[in-house]
Amino acid sequence: MLSRTADNLFWIARYMERAETMARLLEVGARISLLPSVHGYRSEWDSLLQASGTADGFDRKYAEPVARNIESYLFFDHDNPSSVASCLRQARENGRIVRTALTTQVWDALNTAFQELKQLERQPRSELELTQLTDWVTRHAAMVRGSIGATLLRNDGYDFLNLGYCLERADATARLLDVKYYVLLPRVEFVGSGLDNYQWMTLLRALSLHRAFHWTYAGEITARKIADFLILNPQSPRSLVTSVEGINHALHRLGRAYGRETVAQVRGRQLNDMLERVTVEDIFDEGMHEFLTRFIGDVATLGYHVWESYLTGDVR
């Protein structure tokens, strides 16, 4: 497969997953902001910008981190390369370039999202509820993923799509968790408070995982349980360990199909081994934020090796 084609497929998946993450982040922010404000902790909207890595761009364009501006910036703004609108456009454009590597169903799903987005952009903002918007994004993301799963040939192209999805998801879950743990609750005395619980619940809801959590862990919500669920539990669909398993599965298939292992496979297995060895206690000893920061860095390095090994066409 042409490296550029693989690259386009990889990025279709990353952009779709990223659009969904942005929508989920917005939902976390909106729900938390419904709480009566407690004097003395930082604006949760501001923390969202920090977590999504878009704070600098936002500051350049808007003065006030108020809900309306943030919604515009994270959802509609074309100047923000990570906004939902930018991601959906990019995903569709990447799809158009590799149109022949996709089935009609996958193309339809990508194209429909894009066409509907154009309509949303023409609608007055006051008519659009944030929850409708986020639902709309998750629905279209699911349609694209579903059509990939149901109709696409299981060849290397499929593996590059999955690689994109899993890498992006590993990164996203780590970032969402980091917002909650580090940014939203800067003061130790809040830990275990009612506010703390509410925030955890909101995070789980945003990940569409709050019911799954209760099925898996009966009883009280605690930071440890959440960390276990979102980092180490292989049953959880968005946990770090599940995402990394997905990455390794795709890499393993590629290595087998091409009859050749690369640095990417080695690094992927190292990351997996780390997650299998580590315990919740280890994570809290290291510090959740420190652990997550290290993990995000490792995922980025893995992404680099994927690029170098497969997407440049230079490695022989």
Partner 1 sequence: MAMQGKAVRVTTYFNEMFQDGEVRIPYSRLEGWTKRMPDALRHMKQAEAEALFRRIGITFAVYGEGGDPDRLIPFDMFPRVFTAAEWARLERGIKQRARALNAFLVDVYGRGEIVRAGRIPAHLVYRNAAFEKSVVGFVPPKGVYSHIVGIDLVRTGADEFFVLEDNCRTPSGVSYMLENREIMMRMFPDLFRENRIEPVDNYPLLLRRTLASVAPAKCKGDPTIVILTPGHFNSAYYEHSFLADLMGVELVEGQDLFVEGEYVWMRTTEGPKRVDVIYRRIDDAYIDPLCFRPDSMLGVPGLMDVYRSGGVNICSCPGAGVADDKAVYTFVPEMIRFYLGEEPILNNVPTWQCAKEDDRKYVLENLKDLVVKEVHGSGGYGMLVGPKSTRDQIERFHARISEDPGNYIAQPTLALSTTPTFVDEGIAPRHVDLRPYCLVGERVELVPGGLTRVALTEGSLVVNSSQGGGVKDTWVLAE
Q: CA 83, CA 75: separation in Å to the nearest integer?
A: 5
Residue 98 DSSP one-character state: T
Helix H or strand E encompassing 146: helix 130-151
Residue 254 contacts residue 159 (beta carbons within 8 Å): yes
Pick the closer one to partner 1 by CB: 43 or 103. Answer: 103
Tokens of 297: 């860095």
Closest CA relative to residue 224, chosen from 196, 252, 248 = 196
Pick the closer one to partner 1 by CB: 114 or 200: 114
- Closest to partner 1 by CB, 65 or 268: 268
Q: Write each residue from 225 to 264 as x if it is in contact with partner 1 (CB under 8 A), else as -, in one continuous string.
A: -----------------------------x---x-x----
CA distances from 42 to 28, 30, 32, 139, 217 (A): 15, 15, 12, 32, 30
Letters for 107-126 (x = contact with partner 1 by CB under 8 A, - = none) are: xx------------------
Residues composing the chain: 316
Closest distance to partner 1 from the beta carbon of 114 (Å): 10
221 touches 191 (CB < 8 A) = no
Give phi and psi for 51, each to the nearest 5: -65, -35
Least spacing, CB of residue 295 vs partner 1, in Å: 26
Q: Is 316 in the site for partner 1 (CB under 8 A)?
A: yes
Q: Which two tokens stand for residue 291?
A: 């652990």
Measured from the CB atom, the residue of 104 and 208 that comes closer to partner 1 is: 104
Q: Distances in Å between the alpha carbon of 101 and those of 96, 104, 156, 162, 173?
A: 10, 10, 11, 14, 29
Q: Find the binding residues for partner 1 in span 186-215 (CB under 8 A).
A: none
Q: Does 97 bind partner 1 (CB under 8 A)?
A: yes
Q: Are 28 and 176 in contact, with CB atoms under 8 Å apart?
A: yes
Q: Which of residues 20 and 159 has its CB atom nearest to partner 1 in the complex?
A: 159
The least CB distance from residue 102 to partner 1, in Å, is 11
96 lines the binding site for partner 1 (CB under 8 A): yes
Q: For partner 1, which residue of 156, 171, 196, 245 counts as binding (CB under 8 A)?
A: 156
Comparing CB distances to partner 1, the nearer of 105 and 216 is: 105
Residues 283-312 close enough to bind partner 1 by CB under 8 A:
310-312
Packed helices 3-32 and 194-206: angle between N→C axes, nearest 10 degrees? 140
- Binding-site residue total for partner 1 (CB under 8 A)? 26
Q: Which stretch binds partner 1 (CB under 8 A): 50-58, 68-76, 94-102, 278-286?
A: 94-102
Query: Which residues form the interface with partner 1 (CB under 8 A)?
Result: 1-6, 93, 96-97, 99-100, 104, 107-108, 156, 160, 254, 258, 260, 310-316
